[in-house]
Amino acid sequence: MDVDDLIDAVKASPKRARLGIAIATMAIVAAVAGVGVALKGAIHDEPQLPAVDIGQILHPGVT
* Per-run averaged pLDDT (10 residues), the chain, 63 residues: 70 72 90 82 67 75 66
Between the CA of residue 16 and those of 4, 6, 7, 26, 47, what are the distances in Å? 20, 18, 16, 15, 49
**Model pLDDT, residue 26:** 92
Q: What's the rounded Cα separation, in Å, for the pair 22 and 33? A: 16
Q: What is the largest CA-CA distance in the chain?
A: 93
CB 62, CB 55: distance < 8 Å: yes
